[in-house]
A and B are shown apart, each in its own frame.
Chain A
């Protein structure tokens, strides 16, 4: 074989990794504590749509799969991906056999490579060379696995299998793949693909993000990186990607800098973190400072339209929340816009005079059955408004819960009011999603009930609408600010 193109730049090979027709687990184990068992279990348990094969030295039956002793015993042309759970020493021969069967992508969970001293470094170099020789995409090694919800593939040695969605995850640390997938499971905002780059011997985080940029199943890339060896190449790569799709990056660890000119003030001011921050800004990458902020930014890109400008209106049912949110907006790159006179006049028709008549739009408890959806629609359809943050969802259902659990239920009309409150919160959540969709403007809903009482019908309905219910207005403001920064970057 004469591979002239770098496998890590070949989108067709990435399709073999993320949308394989068939998968083989090499090194399947009968012991439920071994990775070779867990990977096969997770593939089968998540309902992968393609054919599943497994090798086991003894040809034992594992989870109802009749294994074969070696790759040579498998059919040709039915398998695209091998998930390798065998020791490093046997992997070169294994991959050659795989290539002979038409397998074009491999994910190596095996340890014993560059993370394991000089011998491991040499073994990893051989692995990379073989991948190029065979024209095979070799992901990992020492990685946690690969997830792809469009084909229900969970080929990883850990849980969870996240709900389907549009976030593409690539991480230099397997643990953070798990973190992102856990947030996805908790919030209901789903994932398209997820992969831990492991040692990233030949396929780097940048390579995965490049694939996500053109992947129709993915709306946003979400990456964890640390110890970037060639920062300039990473920057160039991301800068070529961001005009196509938003990319959210969270970075860990200080890099190996420190050898800078002490003679210059510029050199001593140019800390690793400041350089990274500037480079990401320049490349149009959304940099998040924490894992949860990174997930929430990505979830927002995946589920909300981009704002066309910074003008933000806060719609709240109570005063304090609005004040704090206004503070957060003022401290951000968003704009707490003044309400235009015609919008004021419009809202006046729906509310008694005691409403705030200002931004935040504080309904001051004056709302009747239809007020919230109606006022939300008025605000969202105004040309000057670019985004809305909606606060107060779930209050009614919170009271309903207390009534439902109290000793007076269902008498005194409590059964009817409980049902009314719950229905109202569902309506508000649905209205926020529908009005956002119809106007093409982001509407972010924030309430701590999203985490303090996730079963509250308000947050639950936000999840059902496919959107993120933010646990605080500050977190909603942070996410919306990231959307605006990216929108502005695209406008340049």
Chain B
């Protein structure tokens, strides 16, 4: 188990799930993800793209692949069969031995101008916490986030959304309809339920959660579990 590590701090032994496994874990709690395919080679990727409809995104998928964007392991807006093949070849070549067994995740490209982050983490003093904020690659720099302790009520979820400072991103934005706040609250409640039900969850990242036609759609998931 090369990915099970014990850090110098008090952090317990843990492992990260692949994007695919992370999504599988979260679906039963009511987190919805777009259709996607897991493929092993360029031919499979091209076939999946045909089925899903172009354009698509391709991402390297595997245990312990946490910071995909930072490592250049996400290819967006692949608009032709050849582009899908090339991207798949490059992604598979970019895998390192440390990544273990890898595959490529192909999913429809969802047009969106807005990105949010929803997640769960364990605070040393307060226990499981849930977070929502402005997502995407700038999420830590902007740090417009709101937190609560797990579990949350629907009212808590609504207040979390209300307390995001950049409220303009939740309204009508660049010609798009306002964000469906109720659906966003549903997403937070699903994460709260998951965190309560699975005491082995150390962290969940849904980043980004895209807004498409006002509906929030998580297009990436990372779950970190403790190993007992």
Contacts and interface: CB of A to CB of B under 8 A. Distances in A.
Contacts of A116: none
B189 interface: no
Given A265-B119, A269-B139, A279 B149 contact: yes
Q: Which of A229, A232, A258 has the most CB of B within 10 A?
A: A232
B224 interface: yes
B121 A267 contact: yes
Interface residues of B, number: 42
Interface string B57-88: 00000000011000000000000000000000
Interface string A254-283: 011111110111111110101111110110
Q: Which of A255, A268, A270, A274 has the most CB of B within 10 A?
A: A270
B140 A269 contact: yes
Contact of A281 (B127, B143, B159, B224): B159
Interface residues of A, number: 31
B147 A275 contact: yes
B125 A278 contact: no
Contacts of A257: 123-125
B37 interface: no
Interface in A467-492: 492
A176 interface: no
Interface string A227-240: 01111100100000
Nearest to B117: A265
Contacts of B147: 270, 274-275, 277-279
Nearest to A268: B140
Overall SS of chain A's interface: helix
B148 interface: yes
B194 interface: no
Given A229-B125, A231-B126, A259-B124, A264 B149 contact: no
Nearest to B204: A266
A264 B205 contact: yes
B2 to A, nearest CB: 15
Given A231-B125, A232-B126, A268-B140, A261 B149 contact: no
Given A265-B139, A269-B133, A269-B143, A281 B163 contact: yes
A260 B119 CA distance: 14
Contacts of B204: 264, 266
A249 to B, nearest CB: 14
Contacts of B126: 231-232, 235, 275-276, 279
Contacts of B160: 278
Interface of B: 7, 9-11, 14, 16, 66-67, 117, 119-127, 129, 131, 133, 139-140, 143, 145-149, 152, 155-156, 159-160, 163, 202-205, 207, 222, 224
Task: List 8 tightest A-B contacts by C-beta distance, closest first.
Answer: A266-B119, A231-B125, A278-B147, A264-B203, A259-B9, A231-B126, A267-B121, A263-B66
Given A260-B122, A263-B222, A264-B204, 13 more contacts: A235-B149, A256-B124, A257-B123, A258-B9, A259-B11, A263-B203, A264-B121, A266-B120, A266-B204, A269-B133, A275-B129, A277-B147, A278-B160
18 contacts: A229-B125, A235-B126, A257-B125, A259-B11, A261-B11, A261-B122, A263-B16, A263-B67, A264-B66, A265-B117, A267-B121, A269-B117, A270-B121, A270-B123, A270-B145, A277-B147, A278-B129, A279-B148
Interface of A: 228-232, 235, 255-261, 263-270, 272, 274-279, 281-282, 492
